[in-house]
Chains A and B, each alone.
Chain A
Amino acid sequence: QSVLTQPPSASGTPGQRVTISCSGSSSNIGSNTVDWYQELPGTAPKLLIYSNDQRPSGVPDRLSGSKSGTSASLAISGLQSEDESDYYCAAWDDSLNGYVFGTGTKVTVL
């Protein structure tokens, strides 16, 4: 049972903006930074955003992350067919003394 809650699905047409939410608590998002991962079918997860809003080299700037209080969000602007994937948020949890992943969101490009 994950302690970070995401909507199971999100969708949009090409070119649209899609936002994925991630809800946590004071012991995880409220006191630590949030990371986001993309998992394409049949491939290993890939880091998209770290430390709330930082993009690793190679991640396009149409992907952005933000955090406020005990929630975070990932925005994908200019939606493209290759964005169709599963997305996970994650953060360290001080109470569990472990790293926790969100429940995951499947993004569909209509």
Chain B
Amino acid sequence: EVQLVESGGGLVKPGGSLRLSCAASGFNYNDAFMSWVRQAPGKGLEWVGRIKTTVSGGATDYAAPVKGRFTISRHDSKNTLYLQMNGLKTEDTALYYCAWVGRTGFMYKWGQGAPVTVSS
């Protein structure tokens, strides 16, 4: 069974940093592109970014609102995905999901989400 379990969410002050983790199991993580998607309270889904496989160079792409502040990385031997968030703003408050990306870019499987609140 595919499982994606996010952790590391919490309350942080504006300007602060937080690192989310996503533990993956039940599929060949090394061969998977992975993404982060967020949902602010009462709002729709927003793609945050993605990381390709290590053999593909591990290249990353980011949405404009987070580019330069957020970094996605992966640790293949630990089957874990990370989202390092720096320079957090109140508008980054959201539930953050990690997702296994399918071959044409769709979000095939999702975790349950990690809540992040940015507030003073």
Contact = CB atoms under 8 A, between A and B. Distances in A.
- Pairing of A with B: yes
Interface of A: 2, 32-33, 35, 37, 39, 44-47, 50-51, 56, 88, 90, 92, 96-104
A99 B110 contact: no
A35 B106 contact: yes
The prevalent SS among residues of A at the interface is: strand
Contact of A46 (B49, B63, B110): B110
A72 B116 CA distance: 33
B105 interface: yes
> Which size class do B's interface residues fall under?
20 to 34
B45 A39 contact: yes
B112 A45 contact: no
B104 interface: yes
Interface in B94-116: 97, 102, 104-113
